[in-house]
Structure 1
Amino acid sequence: MPQCLVVDDSAVMRRIARSMLQKLGFECTEAADGAQALEAVQRSAPDVILLDWEMPVLDGLGALIALRAEPWGQKPRVVMCTTLSDMERIIAALEAGADEYVMKPYDQEILADKLRAVGILD
């Protein structure tokens, strides 16, 4: 069963994403900010990380940059998610190592398409 780390400062968004991912056959863990996400990845690297951009402590972009700087940090696929559709942000995330980008709100079909695009879902 593929593993996904859901990172979002909103418990409601984590619960919604987790529900969608479980229906798609994923086992999920959660983190409330980028710092918690980095700790979680060091304990057990997931196949994919659904990473919110705007969070306290360490935002998604900072967490992504830190993750990709680690020798093992290229392994998990990263799908950045945000409510902001600013093209500069999308480019910054992709340049920092995001594999895909999804806009909130998203539904299960959109999420599945993004996971297929990064090669995690058939």
Structure 2
Amino acid sequence: MRILIVDDSSTMRRIIGNVVMQLGYSKEEFDEAEDGVKAWKLLTETQYDIILTDWNMPNMNGLDLVKKVRSEGNHQKTPIIMITTEGGKGEVITALKAGVNNYIVKPFNAQILKEKLDGVLKK
């Protein structure tokens, strides 16, 4: 399984990576990007099974990344989970309309991420 973790915070990328490893995945199974631009570059080079992205990032934010993934390239059907502090109903609806498969509000725990991952990977 190939996982792409996108967040401008290196600490948050490390936390998400640690949770992913707690769920049984290895470090070799995921890549990291600090913004949507770098994520898009990785997406053009590698086939991922799931994308975990933040919303608020420089250069290209997570919402714009989701829109780009859904409209271009070979990841249009790849499950995307947005992990963000943007927890308002309006933001959730906006993200879902843009094409995210699920949504996690920070802070979160391993159980929440496991449930969301299991949910989108079973579809």
Q: TM-score, normalised by structure 2?
A: 0.92
Structure 2: which 5+ residue stretches go unaligned?
none
Q: Deviations over 1:72-119 (max 9, x none)?
A: 232321001111211111111111110000000111111000001102
Q: Deviations over 1:14-36 (max 9, x none)?
A: 00100111222331100000111
Q: TM-score, normalised by structure 1?
A: 0.92
Q: Name the counterpart of 2:63.
A: 61
Which of structure 1's runs of 4+ aligned residues deviate more than 3 A? none
Q: What is the distance in 2 between the residues matched to 1:96 and 1:75?
A: 13
Q: Does 1:12 align with 2:11?
A: yes
Q: What is the distance in 1 between the residues matched to 2:91 and 2:47?
A: 25
Q: Name the counterpart of 2:117.
A: 115
Q: Name the counterpart of 2:21.
A: 22
RMSD over aligned Cα, in angstroms? Answer: 1.4
Does the CA-based 8 Å contact 1:81-1:104 persist in structure 2? Answer: yes
Does the CA-based 8 Å contact 2:5-2:16 persist in structure 1? Answer: yes
Q: Name the counterpart of 1:94.
A: 96
After TM superposition, the structure 1 stretch with the greater mean CA deviation from structure 2, 70-79 or 55-64, is 70-79
Equivalent position SS for 2:82: strand
> Which amino acid in structure 1 is aligned with residue 100 of structure 2?
A
How many residues align? The count is 120
> Which amino acid in structure 1 is aligned with residue 67 of structure 2?
I
Structure 1: which 5+ residue stretches go unaligned?
none
- What is the CA-CA distance between 1:71 and the residue it aligns to? 4.4
- What is the CA-CA distance between 1:49 and the residue it aligns to? 0.6
After TM superposition, the structure 1 stretch with the greater mean CA deviation from structure 2, 84-93 or 52-61, is 84-93
Equivalent position SS for 1:91: helix
